[in-house]
Structures are given as C-alpha cells and as structure tokens.
Structure 1
Amino acid sequence: MRIMKYSLYPFIALLLAGGLTACNKDTSSTQNSDASTNTQAKVMNIGSDMTFPPFEYIENNQPSGFDIDLMNGILQQSSASANFIDTRFSNLIPGLEGKKFDAVISGMYITAERLKKVDMVPYFKSTESVTVLSNSNYKPKVRDDLCGKTIATQKGSLYPDQLNQISQESCLAKGKAAITVREFDTSPQAVQAVLAKAADAQYDDSSVARNTVKKLNGKVEITSTEPFFPFIGGIAVRKGDTVTYNLINDGLQKLKQSGEYDTLIQKYDLQAPTDEEIKIFMDQAKS
C-alpha cells in the first residue's frame, strides 16, 4: 500500500489510465531473459500489476509500494536489481511460465492451484473486505448480506471464485437471490463501478480496501465485519527454479533479521505472518 495526495477524480484518472506502465530499465535487452541469465547479470525481470495500492502502483512515473520496496530490498542482499514490468494480474503467472518474468510480486495469494504451476515464497497475510459508498443505505457486514447484490471485483484474482462460492453456499443454498459478480481488469476499475453506482459494493483485499478509503477521502467505507477467506501471499517463481527461489527467500530472511521487513510492514499498514502460520498454511496448500 503510502499516501498520495490528490482529489477523487485525479485519483481515479491516474489509476484507470490505460497508459499505466512501470519505468523499466533496459527492457529491450532483458525482458525475455531467463532467471539464470538475469541472476548472473544482476538484473531480474519482476512482473507486477501496478494498479493495486498499497502493494504496487505508479507514482511520479515510478513503480512504488510495499512490494516494490520489498523486492528492491530483497535483491540488494545479493547485489542484484529489479526491472519491474507492469502487467495485468491475469497475465502474471502465464508471463512467468513463458519466461517474460523471472519472478512475480503482486499481492498474490498462495493457493494449492497456483502451487501446481509455480513455487511461492510467503511474505504477508491478509483477508478480504467489502467497500460501499459512504452515503449508501446498503451496509453489508457478513456473507449473507451480499445476496442479491451486484459486487465488483478484480478479474484474474481469486475474488470472483470466492464470491461465487459465497453465492452458492450462503445465498442459493438458503433460497436467497444469487450474487451478481462483475469483474474488472483492475481494482481501481472496480472502485469506479461503485462510485458510478454500477455496482453495490466492491470485494477486495482488506489492505487495498483500507488504502482506497484513505485515497478517496471517505467517499467509500468498509462495512464488512467477516474475515471471509484469510490467506498468506507469496512471491512467485517458476516451478523448480531453485536458484531464483533461494535468492529471494534468503534475501527476505535477511530483511527480517535486520528489521527492514517489519519497518515496511508498518509503513504500509500490512500484516506479517508468523513462522507457525506460514508452516500451517503451506502444509494445507500443498496437501
């Protein structure tokens, strides 16, 4: 997540601008390299959807946010550097598999399905929240409150599947109306749907939702009280790429030991999982 000061409409225009791209360093020569080449060259191509504050976003034409600061810190531990490449979320894992990226950091949940395709280094924990217009009479708190409503969320994430699961288990199974799920390429576009009253609410990561409330100066608010689907997020590397995995994992552990990791967690209002939480979560995801 970091606080950028601008009014409602410039904020939306900035985040929704189609030209959002990371300022990549020499992408023409490095973008299609594989991990081993980039490790040797001390430059690694990192995929990220930079429309997801506070994790990653563009500020002053530069990649910014928790994930950006964290990955820069991780790579500095081995004298490497990052070439961040802005890509929509649904294309991140395919891009990693296709060797467009050496790693992906983008507020990505660790799931059993993703672990079949990539390896992931755990680094934060969170859950989901529901955001609505502050002046709306609709104030959803728990799953059942979403029934019969139109909920905006991000395409390519786990959120559409989660909402459909809620719709089946908490709505249809109880004789209530289904949730209408509207998917958007980015989180800011989903926010815009709520602002335009094209959706009743937005379903998103809790840290992202808190950031949205701050940026929009109270135009929207979080009303949900249920944690929904708690998770741990991870940095993705290609399946079996132990060189890159170890480089990132070792760098992360060094940041934790130095206290820099905790400083970033506090700066961006995020949550750090304990070693025990990571072990339990990863064992479950791999089983």
Structure 2
Amino acid sequence: MKKWSLLALLMAMMLVIAACGSDESEDTTDGGESGSDAKTYKVGIDTTYPPFEFEVDGEYTGIDIDLITAIAENQGFEIEFSPMDFGGIIPALQADQLDIAIAGMSITDERKAVVDFSDPYFDAGLSLVVAEDNNEITSLDDLEGKTVAVKSGTTGAQFARDNEAEYGYTVAQFEDSPSMFQEVSNGNAAVLLEDYPVIAYAIAESGLSLKTVGDRLTGDQYGIAVLKGQNAEVLEQINTGLQELRDSGKYDEILAKYIAE
C-alpha cells in the first residue's frame, strides 16, 4: 500500500509540473502586448496632404502613414486611421474621438496649449506659391491688394492672418489643398501659402501650373500630437519608436520613398 501511495503521489506531482509548464509556454507565445492584447489607438490624419498623407486605390499612404505604422510595429501597439479635414483634428482629440494625430502638424506655442507633441520628425517651412507665368510676385511686399489662399487650420492660415494688416492683402480660406491650388491656378487668388515639401511634391507629381518664389517664410517642424496631459504612455512610445527608426535607418528610407534629394 505504501508503494502504491508513493507512486500515486509522484504521478500527481508530475501532472502539476506539466500543467505549470504548459501555462508558461502559452504566456511566452502571446508575448506582452502583441496580438489580441495590444492596445489600439485611433489616429487622426488628413488625406489631402501629399506627400505626407494621401490615398491611392483606397489605401492610405505617405510619409506620415508609413512613419506612424512603423512606430506602432516597433512599439507593439495597433492603430486605426480616422481621416478628416485638418481643421477638425485637434477638436477631435479634445472630444476624445482620437488618441493620436499625425497630419503634417507644425509645432506651435498655440497648439502646445492644447496638445503634447512628440519630438520633431520633419523640418518644414512655408513658401509663397504663384501661378507658373506670374513674374510679378516674389515676396510678401508684392501682395498689397492681392488675395492670398490658405488652408483652414494650418500654420499658413495663421501666418496669413497675422500679417494681413501689415502687407495689405485679403485672406481666402479653403478646407483642402486641391481647392487652394486651383484658386491660384485659375487666377482667383494671386498666391497661396503652403509647406515647401508639400507644394514641391504636388507640383512635381500632379503637373500643377504653379511655382514657389522667394525664401521660406518660416522654419516649422512637424510633430505627432496627443491631447495635453493625456496618453503620456503612448507619447513616450512614439518618441522611443521614432528614435529607433532614426537609428536603424528606417526613417531615412521612408523619407526617400516620397521625397527625392
């Protein structure tokens, strides 16, 4: 009887050990926040902003799309894109409809009162843009009595409003970039204000009858935003992922895909 009791005890211990080993194996396979356990964040984008964000055959593409996707993969979280007009992105963050915003958004003191920005990920800057055959406008000093087209909610729009009285022009606002480009192409506006990489890409890829003139008006930097005081954890992940992409060379690969040196 003692021999059978000892044998039964040993068998029971082996079953317990095997069960524990099986649980550990399953935990290792799942791996932290990967798979179904990964957090999903809603990301606000503006798909009328190539080369940073645009749509091709129903798929979102561009520098911002590739960058936030690579950061998410690097840091082990999931993302869900929410396209909208640029001017609605920060209000959507405030309304808790978005967790993250990446939309060629310049880091400004005004915006920093509402959102927390990541480390800068792109050096931009505003350019004056005129019709290809316009040789009269080369600087802000040439804009008196003219109409300046801008995109609502952008730093270009803010710059135009801030300098309207000094240079004597009228501001016309549009909800998307194509409408703004068309306004200058058809002569309804004399000039538009746009970030230089955006307009350079648009002119090259779309054959717009436009050209940039003069020096860049600002030295803006783009950042990825979350609502101020919220999502500190994901903001830290974004900065860590961004740095790792820079270190690995992946960041340069993404830029080179859309912007030729």
TM-score range, shorter chain: 0.7 to 0.9
1:249-260 matches, cutoff 5 A: 249-260=239-250
1:227 aligned onto 2:216: yes
Report the equivalent of 2:54. Answer: 57
Give the aligned residue type for 2:171.
V
Report the equivalent of 2:176. Answer: 186
Contact 1:129 1:203 in 2 (8 A): yes
Question: Within 1, Cα distance between the matches of 2:158 and 2:94?
Answer: 23
Q: Structure 1, residues 120-164: CA drift from partner, whole Å, max 9, x if none?
A: 0121111111222212343x2222122221111101112222113
Cα offset, 1:73, TM superposition: 0.4
Question: Within 2, Cα distance between the matches of 1:255 and 1:165?
Answer: 36
Report the equivalent of 1:136. Answer: 134
Contact 2:122 2:223 in 1 (8 A): yes
Cα offset, 1:221, TM superposition: 1.4
1:160 aligned onto 2:157: yes
1:1-287 matches, cutoff 5 A: 41-121=38-118, 122-138=120-136, 140-169=137-166, 171=167, 178-217=168-207, 219-222=209-212, 224-240=213-229, 241-269=231-259
Q: Judging changes above 3 Å, is the alpha-carbon distance between structure 1 residues 92 and 270 closer, same or farther for their aligned structure 2 residues?
A: farther
Q: Judging changes above 3 Å, is the alpha-carbon distance between structure 1 residues 270 and 216 closer, same or farther for their aligned structure 2 residues?
A: closer
Aligned CA RMSD, in angstroms, stands at: 1.8
Give the aligned residue type for 1:168.
A
Structure 2 residue ranges without an equivalent (≥5): 1-35
Question: Within 2, Cα distance between the matches of 1:90 and 1:219?
Answer: 26
Cα offset, 1:195, TM superposition: 2.1
Give the aligned residue type for 1:166.
N
Contact 2:128 2:139 in 1 (8 A): no
Matched residue count: 224
Q: Structure 1, residues 224-266: CA drift from partner, whole Å, max 9, x if none?
A: 2222111111100121221111111111111011011122223
Contact 1:132 1:201 in 2 (8 A): yes
More helix by share: 2
Identity score, percent: 33
Structure 1 residue ranges without an equivalent (≥5): 1-38, 172-177, 272-287
Give the aligned residue type for 1:145.
D
Q: Judging changes above 3 Å, is the alpha-carbon distance between structure 1 residues 125 and 270 closer, same or farther for their aligned structure 2 residues?
A: farther
Question: Within 1, Cα distance between the matches of 2:172 and 2:180?
Answer: 8
Q: 4+ residue runs of structure 1 moved beyond 4 angstroms?
A: none
Q: Judging changes above 3 Å, is the alpha-carbon distance between structure 1 residues 123 and 221 closer, same or farther for their aligned structure 2 residues?
A: same
